[in-house]
């Protein structure tokens, strides 16, 4: 008996596209699509409208890479920030997490991921060259490497350290108040605060 493909082509296409997102697999993509279909049409359209609006308005800050609605984000444009210290993070939400602690008053630099040879992610895919230019062209005195405490995060921090070690600046690494393998975005504010307080020079 010939097997019938019950999955509508439009649903299949949506799942395939969602599954291409980092951190998504087929199951989570399928769950997202089906949940959207199960919602009242008005609510589903409202979510789609919000997502469209986000795509239309949000972009990386031209200086640090944090997602913002303006050309320059509120951190980079603030006169109250310590512009001699830059905290390097993998993603925007890592910067948001650190900002919530209220313990950091410098600037950020979002590199947009981490080195991962297995996934084909190299230094050329990351926002590292602009970090080097910021250090060279501005009065930067310290870089805090706040990549996630994972194998890839450590490799990325080590790579950046090697690029900057001869630039006559302090280079520190957030302390391991964070368990190895953790993700900054998911850490509680107290743990992140302690990690920042006990950062170590490298």
DSSP structural state of residue 179 = P
Query: Are 44 and 105 found together in one domain?
Result: no
- How many domains, the chain? 2
* pTM for this entry: 0.79
Residue 27 lies in domain: 9-57
Query: Are 104 and 193 found together in one domain?
Result: yes
CATH code of the domain containing 44: 1.10.8.420
How far apart are alpha carbons 138 and 59 in whole angstroms? 23
Q: 113 CB contacts (<8 Å, ≥6 apart)? A: 90, 91, 121, 125, 126
Query: Are 146 and 117 found together in one domain?
Result: yes
68 domain residue, yes or no: no
State the Cα angle at 128 between 127 and 131, rounded to 5°.
Answer: 105
pLDDT of residue 28: 94
pLDDT over 60 (residue 29): yes
pLDDT interval class at 161 (50, 70, 90) = very high
In tens, the pLDDT along 112-150 reads 999 888 888 888 899 999 999 999 999 899 999 999 888
CATH code of the domain containing 195: 3.40.1360.10
Q: 36 CB contacts (<8 Å, ≥6 apart)? A: 44, 47
165 domain residue, yes or no: yes
Query: Are 15 and 77 found together in one domain?
Result: no
Q: Give the relative orientation of helices 189-197 and 92-101 as an angle to the nearest 10 degrees.
A: 90
Query: Are 142 and 169 found together in one domain?
Result: yes
pLDDT interval class at 192 (50, 70, 90) = confident
115 domain residue, yes or no: yes
62 domain residue, yes or no: no
SS3 105: coil
Query: Are 31 and 127 found together in one domain?
Result: no
SS3 121: strand
pLDDT of residue 200: 65
Q: 79 CB contacts (<8 Å, ≥6 apart)? A: none
State the Cα angle at 183 between 34 and 117, rounded to 5°.
Answer: 90
Query: Are 94 and 24 found together in one domain?
Result: no
Residue whose token pair is 């957030």 = 174
Query: Are 99 and 182 found together in one domain?
Result: yes
């Amino acid at each position: 008996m010939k097997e019938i493909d019950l999955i509508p082509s439009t649903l299949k296409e949506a799942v395939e596209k969602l599954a291409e997102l980092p951190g998504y697999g087929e199951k989570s993509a399928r769950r997202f699509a089906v949940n959207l279909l199960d919602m009242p049409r008005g609510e589903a359209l409202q979510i789609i409208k919000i997502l469209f609006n986000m795509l239309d308005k949000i972009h990386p800050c031209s200086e640090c890479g944090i997602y913002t609605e303006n050309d320059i984000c509120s951190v980079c444009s603030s006169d109250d920030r310590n512009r001699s210290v830059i905290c390097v993070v993998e993603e925007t939400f890592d910067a948001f997490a650190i900002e919530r602690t209220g313990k950091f008053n410098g600037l950020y630099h979002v590199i947009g991921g981490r080195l991962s040879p297995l996934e084909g992610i190299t230094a050329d895919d990351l926002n590292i060259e602009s970090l080097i230019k910021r250090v060279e062209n501005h009065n930067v005195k310290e870089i805090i490497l706040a990549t996630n405490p994972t194998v890839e995060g450590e490799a990325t921090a080590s790579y950046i350290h090697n690029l900057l070690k001869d630039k006559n600046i302090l280079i520190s690494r957030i302390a391991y108040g964070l368990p190895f393998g953790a993700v900054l975005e998911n850490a509680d504010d107290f743990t992140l605060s302690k990690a920042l307080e006990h950062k170590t020079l490298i």
